Amino acid sequence: MPLMTDSDVARRVFEHVDHKTTDAVDSVWREPVANYTSQARLDAELALLRRLPVPFCPSGALAGEGAYLAREAAGTPLLVVRGSDGVVRGFRNACRHRGMQVATGTGCAKAFACKYHGWTYGLDGGLRHVPHEHGFPGLARESHRLVPVETRERGGIVYVAQSPRPGDWAAVEALPELVGPEQRMFASREITIPANWKIFLEGFLEGYHIKTTHPTSFYPFGYDNLNVIEYFGRNSRVTFPFQRIERLRGLPAEQQRVDGLLTYVYQLFPNAILTMLSHHTVLVVLEPVSLGETRFVTYLLSNRGTGDAKSVEDAQRDAQFVNQGGAVEDAAMVAAIQRSIGSGANEHFTFGRFEGALAHFHRELDTLLASALG
């Protein structure tokens, strides 16, 4: 279903403020703790992450010809690069000679030369140069290209799929444009969090914890347990309104604009979050490392409709506040959950009626895993 307009979201928020309510689902969801502690389950989840098209980075991370980004996705080293024709392509980051990675980190290149023996590849993945090639009689360069992975850009985000099935890309093609071409990426980082990837993801999808977890950071500007929750396909959007949304009361619907008055959190199934805050946007990709570790990959951009130097400065200040406050508090919570997950206290986690987006995520994940394992 299409997402609500600004005025529809504002109307729903005001209804909840006036009646002291929040969006709620009909039933409670019980998620088995074994789903966070089973290696077989994690292996199946990683196989699904390798199969499905998943967000890899924002288009802004690959701003010009030769811009590249290399990192692991679902445990596989990948390289994405914008070619001379403007097309973004993805490859398995392994030389076809002896498997050495041909790129690390980010940068801009005209070609990728393996640092082990110098085999060199073009931006299109083609093998361009082999030192002392006479030592490889009959070498077919075309069959020794970098191995491609399916890569597409959609709505300002680059998606990769390592082993997609027919029809898997349809869910991506149906997504709205979420990141505009004018949005400038001003920072990125990777850190490892000592928690299962799903525990970390769940913290983004409900506002039931805002008052107790963020009493001096987010809560003074927002509400206690007030969210608007929407579903589109396997994905969801959770709205976290700020108290300043009251400025819109009484305005005609066509004049109501919610930019800067709330935070939108998009859960892009299965392992990505796009958060649109007051002055900046964050693409988060959660990469499972092990049952108890997650690589937290973030890309920070200016907001839609912005991109000049002033807006980037505002975005950097906004990001500093979020990172020093709410992000640190959330990280502490999920790490504590992970430390107790094997205590035997819980056979399942209980997601209440206010936590419908969590249930939606787990229901969709269960469905796909059952299909894959069946």
User: Do 88 and 94 form a contact (C-beta atoms < 8 A)?
Assistant: no
Taking residues 7-11, report their average pLDDT. 97
- Is residue 1 one of the residues assigned to a domain? no
Taking residues 358-371, report their average pLDDT. 96
C-alpha to C-alpha distance for 268 and 150, rounded to whole angstroms:
18
For position 372, what pLDDT does the model report? 67
Distance of CA 296 to the CA centre of its chain: 9
Of the given ranges (18-22, 45-49, 157-161, 306-310), which has the lowest mean pLDDT?
306-310
Asked whether residue 248 falls in the same domain as residue 308, the answer is yes
Asked whether residue 76 falls in the same domain as residue 203, the answer is no
Asked whether residue 320 falls in the same domain as residue 216, the answer is yes
Backbone angles phi, psi at 191, to 5 degrees: -135, 160
- Is residue 279 one of the residues assigned to a domain? yes
How would you label 195-227 residue by residue, b for 16+ Cβ within 10 Å and e otherwise?
Answer: bbbbbbbbbbbbbbbbeebbeebbbeebbebbb
Asked whether residue 81 falls in the same domain as residue 96, the answer is yes
Q: What is the dihedral of CA 115, 116, 122, 123, to 10 degrees?
A: -60
Look over the chain and give the mean of its residue pLDDT values, rounded to a whole number.
Answer: 95
Asked whether residue 309 falls in the same domain as residue 276, the answer is yes
Q: For the chain, give the percent of residues with pLDDT over 90.
A: 91
Asked whether residue 129 falls in the same domain as residue 237, the answer is no
- Is residue 21 one of the residues assigned to a domain? yes
Asked whether residue 114 falls in the same domain as residue 208, the answer is no
- Is residue 257 one of the residues assigned to a domain? yes
Q: Tokens 């966070």 map to which residue?
A: 36
Taking residues 211-218, report their average pLDDT. 94
Asked whether residue 131 falls in the same domain as residue 278, the answer is no
Q: Specify the CATH number for the domain of residue 70.
A: 2.102.10.10
For position 309, what pLDDT does the model report? 81
- Single-letter amino acid code for the residue at 308: D
For position 81, what pLDDT does the model report? 98
> What is the pTM (predicted TM-score) of this model?
0.95
Residue 374 has pLDDT above 60, yes or no: no
- Is residue 11 one of the residues assigned to a domain? yes
Contacts of 48 (CB under 8 A, 6+ apart): 270, 365, 368, 369, 372
Asked whether residue 352 falls in the same domain as residue 366, the answer is yes
Q: Specify the CATH number for the domain of residue 358.
A: 3.90.380.10
| Count of structural domains, the chain | 2
- Is residue 314 one of the residues assigned to a domain? yes
Residue 322: pLDDT band (50, 70, 90) is: confident
Asked whether residue 143 falls in the same domain as residue 13, the answer is no
- Is residue 168 one of the residues assigned to a domain? no
Tokens of 60: 């802004």
Q: Among 118, 140, 163, where does a domain finish?
A: 163
Residue 44 has pLDDT above 80, yes or no: yes
pLDDT tens, residue by residue, 250-291: 999 999 999 999 999 999 999 999 999 999 999 999 999 999
C-alpha to C-alpha distance for 298 and 188, rounded to whole angstroms:
5
Q: Tokens 């928690």 map to which residue?
A: 195
Classify residue 250 as left (phi > 0), alpha (psi -120 to 50) or beta: left
Q: Quick count: other Cβ atoms within 10 Å of Cβ 59? A: 20
Taking residues 148-161, report their average pLDDT. 97
Residue 59 has pLDDT above 90, yes or no: yes
From the number of C-beta atoms within 10 Å of its C-beta (0-12, 13-18, 19+), residue 132 rates as exposed
pLDDT tens, residue by residue, 338-354: 999 999 999 999 999 99
Asked whether residue 40 falls in the same domain as residue 138, the answer is no
Q: Quick count: other Cβ atoms within 10 Å of Cβ 363? A: 13
Taking residues 167-196, report their average pLDDT. 94
Asked whether residue 27 falls in the same domain as residue 121, the answer is no
Q: Among 140, 163, 186, where does a domain finish?
A: 163
Is the bond into 58 cis (omega within 30 degrees of 0)? no
Residue 52 has pLDDT above 80, yes or no: yes
Structural domain of 117: 54-163
Taking residues 134-155, report their average pLDDT. 97
User: Do 35 and 341 form a contact (C-beta atoms < 8 A)?
Assistant: no
In three-state secondary structure terms, 299 is strand
- Is residue 268 one of the residues assigned to a domain? yes
Taking residues 174-199, report their average pLDDT. 94
